[in-house]
Chain A
Amino acid sequence: MRFNFVFSEVWIGLRRNLTMTVALVVVVAISLSLLGTGLLFVKQVDNTRSFWQSRVQLSVYLCTATDVSANCQKSGQVTQDQINSIRNELLATHDILSIQFVSAKQAYKQFRQEFASNTPIVKYTQQDSIPPSFQIRLKNTEVDAPQVTEVMNGVTGVSQVVNDASILNQFYRLLDGARNAVVAVAIFLLIAAILLVANTIRLSAFNRRRETSIMRLVGASNFYVQLPFLVEGMIAGMIGWLVATGLLIGVKSVLMSTLQSIFPYGVTLSTTDLVEVIIVAMITGLLICGSTSFLTLRRYLRV
């Protein structure tokens, strides 16, 4: 095997086909980075899901004096007796991991902390408009949560029951939608990339038909005849992948800061996640460019 021979042939091929090579690199870069972005969305949803799995709570909000829901209009502000009976009923009827009463005062303090950066909201929210609540963690959230919601909605002193999971599900739907859109575009571009690889290799084979015909004549093995083209396709693919890697690093930081500004809880992507996605992109790029080159060569460089 003579590596410098193969690489000088590859270099000639890439240079003679400069425009096609550039087009190929650009399309591979964009399609791989979109694919990677889609994968980052998937990772994101997975991470958020496992973060919230153990934290999902049911919040039973109790009536305040100013609450306008129908239930509270009837009964007015929740009393200590009502609070006790609600707690007892919750404990008696369901499989509960933990139950915690958050008084109106504590809730207000927490609210001020979470929205500390948003002074107008903090300023115009009065202490008595933040309701006291029970924070419940159920053993079997998916089955029990709807039941608890249904039962508690009728009980005197309860304003409303909010399941954290339903808020999260909206967030997941948003991310899933974004992922599907990105992956759909990525698939179209990967198809374009495959066609471009095939075309580039075909042009390259045509440009070097003199060399390849002589190689065949003097008895170069198929492997030797085809290797430069194969390497050429793969190198173009790898340059595309390198560009895509840069784009993905950018996408990760933009994606993260955007998502965190929309939904600041449990949204994280580690460097490991990013590296995994970049490796998947590399393998995809190599497979697509390598196998397409190989199949094209079988058609255009018959011995």
Chain B
Amino acid sequence: MIHFDNVTKTYANQGRPALENVNLDVEKGEFVFLVGPSGSGKSTFLRLILKEERPTTGRIHVAGKDLARLTNWKVPHLRRRIGCVFQDFRLLPNKNVYQNIAFALEVIGKPRRFIRKVVPEVIDLVGLEGKRDRMPDELSGGEQQRVAMARAFVNRPMILLADEPTGNIDPATSIGIMKVLDRINRTGTTVVMATHDAAIVDSMRKRVIELEYGKVVRDQSRGVYGQAY
């Protein structure tokens, strides 16, 4: 599903590469934690998958496509197969829950009948029944993140990228968020989650990839946040 082949990314005006010689494979349906301190290259990794950045050297395949050979006008089609969730939710403040989720489908030209059918389904999936008409500022942080997850998932992407989705949320609420991510993962969607949250990583017991100074220093199935041995 995601394949990195000796990928190095050096930003202009920066000496040390943000990612250096990264080789890894993420299979379809996997749940992967990406851990490591700030500046270790987690965000760069996610941006490379979205083709928001191009690798300096090396090859990346996502969903069977070689990103280097993907023309610019094909990039939107790649992004339709990848959902994204961020620490800061990125909801539109002037749209309610339903409209925020529907927006993601409207802008890719889905018919209204389809939108009316799938948006309520995904609202139920993330556990926001009865809150479809709330505005973002009437929701708690956890609820806002659920809206963001619903928006990322509503188009049934093959991959869900989550960049510190629990970063702004208290631990108790985070458990609910993780349950939703797990539910999404169980539908067959590959989930890659960058995080600092040791408790969550330890409790989930999923594959853990640890980055440090742009290098993969650990890749462990059923891992924990820190060194377990």
Are the C-beta atoms of A5 and B92 separated by less than 8 Å?
A: no
Task: Verify A224–B109 contact, CB threshold 8 A.
Answer: yes
Measured between alpha carbons, how far is A225 from B80 in the docked complex, in Å?
14
- Report Cα–Cα, A261/B99, bound state, in Å: 64
Contact with B along A214-232 (1 / 0, CB 8 A): 1111111110110000000
The interface stretch among B5-13, B19-27, B57-65, B100-108 is B100-108
Q: How far is the CA of A214 from the CA of B92 in the complex (A)?
A: 9
- A211 contacts across to B, CB distance below 8 A: 92, 103
Pairwise interchain contact B90-A219, C-beta atoms closer than 8 A: no
The proximity string for A residues 1-29 relative to B, scoring 1 for CB distances below 8 Å and 0 otherwise, is 11001000000000000000000000000
Q: Is the CB of A214 within 8 A of B104?
A: yes
Least Cβ–Cβ distance between B70 and chain A, in angstroms: 12
Instruction: Answer yes or no: A210 CB below 8 A from chain B CBs.
Output: yes
Q: How far in angstroms is the closest Cβ of chain A from B91? A: 9
Q: Which residue of B lies closest to A221 (CB)?
A: B76
Which one of B83, B104, B107, B151 has the highest number of Cβ atoms from chain A below 10 Å of its Cβ? B107
Question: Counting CB contacts under 8 A, is A213 at the interface?
Answer: yes
- Indicate if A275 sits at the interface (CB-CB under 8 A): no
CB under 8 Å from chain A, chain B span 46-86: 50, 72-73, 75-84
**In the bound complex, CA of A159 to CA of B109 (Å):** 84
In the complex, B96 has a CB within 8 A of chain A? no
Query: Residues of A contacting B106 with CB < 8 Å?
Result: 2, 5
Closest chain A CB from B89 CB (angstroms): 11
Chain A 57-70 per-residue mask, 1 if CB under 8 angstroms from chain B, else 0: 00000000000000
Q: How far is it, in angstroms, between the C-alpha of A32 and the C-alpha of B82 when the chains are bound?
A: 47
Q: Does B174 contact A (CB under 8 A)?
A: no
Minimum CB distance partner of B155 in chain A = A218
Tell me, yes or no, whether A195 is within 8 Å of chain B by CB. Answer: no
Q: Is A303 at the interface (CB under 8 A from chain B)?
A: yes
Within A191-207, which residues are at the interface with B (CB < 8 Å)?
Answer: none
Check A214–B76 contact: CB distance below 8 A.
no
Contact with A along B138-167 (1 / 0, CB 8 A): 000000000000011001000000000000
Ranked nearest first, the 9 interchain pairs of A and B with the lowest CB-CB distance are: A219-B80, A219-B79, A220-B107, A218-B104, A219-B76, A215-B107, A221-B76, A5-B106, A217-B84
Interface residues of A (CB under 8 A from B): 1-2, 5, 210-211, 213-222, 224-225, 303
Which residue numbers of B lie inside 8 Å of A, CB to CB? Answer: 50, 72-73, 75-84, 90, 92, 103-104, 106-109, 112, 151-152, 155
Given A218-B79, A224-B109, 20 other A-B residues pairs in contact with their CB atoms under 8 A: A1-B109, A2-B106, A210-B92, A214-B90, A214-B107, A216-B76, A216-B79, A217-B84, A218-B83, A218-B155, A219-B76, A219-B77, A219-B78, A219-B79, A219-B81, A220-B76, A220-B108, A221-B108, A222-B76, A303-B72
